[in-house]
Amino acid sequence: MKIDHKESFKEFGDQFLFYKNIDEEDYWGGLDIFIDQLKPFDPNKVKNKIIMEVGVGNGRVLRHMLKFKPKQIIAVDPAKSIKVAKENNPSNKIDFLNLKAEEINFEKKFDYVFSLGVIHHIPDHQIACQKIYNSLKKKGKFIGWVYGSEGNELYLLIFNNLRRITIALPDNVLRIICHFLNLSCYLYIFLCKIMPLPMRNYMLRIFNKCSYKKRNLMIFDQLNPSYAKYFKKEELENILKQSGFKKFELIHRHKYSWTIIAEK
């Protein structure tokens, strides 16, 4: 069963107004997971470059980008929580633009464009990718991270149908449900250590490293948005080709998601 293709940015705006804190001491907010999402791209390459991030959330990625000393960052997000990202990153190197990815209107401006965990929440993802392509300089690169379909078959069977209910719930009720699901994950993580269960790599290499509080956020992040697309490799290849990219690499990250490295 499909969920209506309704935009999710307002829901994420409310989400990050509540979950404001980045907390770099936690794995979720730390540098390690940021680098892991980009692999094999080396973030040191952004030094003295002009870059853009599409979908900044509470500013977690922006904070790490600044450590690699880019010349300038354009931070794009349509949600009201963009003010949280700005508060979390008080830097004169960043210009914040409160608009959708589909509304980006730059031409050949950026050396690198990043979008981590965002494209899969945009119903018009083809238009968003086309806008990203147009915004890149010649030889510029788009580095993205999106949900994958491969490796998530059982998860999608359960959670896509559960989300049909949870997207209609008030946020405070959904947070209570997230606590119960979070507690049940302790048993599942234990079983993953001794059995090859679905999403084993993700549970042990990502989810298990995060604090209980950030796990709640991660579960909430799965059950709250009205639109979430889990891409097959072939779908991503077609989207990138239609956007104009002829040279790209897709990395099946921990066998549950895709890291995109595409060159204009």
State pLDDT tens for residues 95-118: 999 999 999 999 999 999 999 999
The neighbour count for residue 201, using CB atoms within 10 Å, is 15
pLDDT at 6 over 70: no
CATH superfamily of 9-149+228-263: Vaccinia Virus protein VP39 (3.40.50.150)
Q: What is the DSSP string of 66-103?
A: HTT--SEEEEE--STTHHHHHHH---TTEEEE-S-GGG
Interhelix angle 125-135/233-243, nearest 10 degrees:
50
8-state DSSP, 198: T
pLDDT tens for each residue of 117-162: 999 999 999 999 999 999 999 999 999 999 999 999 988 988 888 9
| Closest to 113 (Cα-Cα) out of 141, 91, 94 | 141
The SS3 call for residue 167 is coil
Instruction: Find all residues with CB under 8 Å of 36, minimum gap 6, and list them.
Output: 206, 253
pLDDT at 60: 95
Cβ atoms of 5 and 124 closer than 8 Å: no
All structural domains of the chain with their residue ranges: 9-149+228-263, 153-223
The SS3 call for residue 137 is strand
Interhelix angle 212-223/171-194, nearest 10 degrees:
110
Tell me whether strands 257-263 and 247-253 are parallel, antiparallel or unpaired. antiparallel
207 phi and psi, to 5 degrees? -60, -45
pLDDT at 5 over 80: no
The SS3 call for residue 242 is helix
Instruction: Please give the structure tokens belonging to residue 16.
Output: 């990050």
Q: Where are the beta strands (DSSP E) in 148-256?
A: 247-253
pLDDT tens for each residue of 186-204: 999 999 999 999 889 999 9
Sign of CA dihedral 103, 108, 114, 117: positive
Residues of the chain above pLDDT 90, percent: 83
| Closest to 29 (Cα-Cα) out of 42, 48, 39, 16 | 16
Write down the residue that tokens 């949600």 correspond to.
79
Task: For residue 156, give the amino acid letter.
Answer: L
